[in-house]
Amino acid sequence: MNLDFPGHEKLIASLDAAVSLGDDRAVTDALRKSLCRMICDEDVALPACVLEPIADHYARRELYTSPEHGYSVVAMTWGPGQGTKIHDHSGMWCVEGVWKGRLEITQYELAERDADRYRFIPAGTIEAGTGSAGSLIPPHEYHTIRNPSEQAVAVSLHVYQRTMVRCGVFSPEGDNTEWQSRGERLLGTDQVQ
């Protein structure tokens, strides 16, 4: 899917230039800088629908998939208090930029693995505001995202190495919150108007 919105060509040209660098670290560094510039660029405005939250879950709306480079761009809308469990990106890099509002991102490091059981250590939490961006490069991809506001909506733009159709989601094992089990979550996208 490729949506048209003000500044679409400018945003895509900027992302294409970054992705064409090839090396994962160079690509994600360039994408972070690019997203920060594009978020602040008055010529670029995301479709109005990405500002509308969905009551029972954070919204995922696909805006673009590059036919040449394979990366995808997804806008996520976070209602007040909405967030994720610890999850991974199934081995692909991602760059996430805060388009509107604030998001709380907690990184986790894998401390121990025993078959399908995982134990994580929190590696730091940041509260990212509008215009900021960060990247995840495997194996450092375990994280949570949450809108800390009780009233405001937050919007983030995610650039994935390729279309992300599934991810690993981690859930505590019963009363034992130290160990987590990994489950696969199929990812869909919400309707774009």
Mean pLDDT value of segment 11-37 = 94
Asked if residue 38 has pLDDT above 90, the reply is yes
Q: What is the pLDDT of residue 149?
A: 97
Q: Is residue 193 part of a domain?
A: no
Mean of the per-residue pLDDT values of the chain: 92
Q: What is the pLDDT of residue 189?
A: 83
Contact 167, 160 (CB under 8 A): no
How many domains is the chain built from? Answer: 1
| pLDDT confidence tier of residue 193, bands split at 50, 70 and 90 | low
Q: Is residue 3 part of a domain?
A: no
CA 104 to CA 125: how far, in whole Å? 7
Q: Is residue 72 part of a domain?
A: yes
Domain residues for the domain of 43 are 8-186
CA 35 to CA 81: how far, in whole Å? 24
Asked if residue 18 has pLDDT above 80, the reply is yes
In this prediction the pTM is 0.93
Asked if residue 99 has pLDDT above 60, the reply is yes
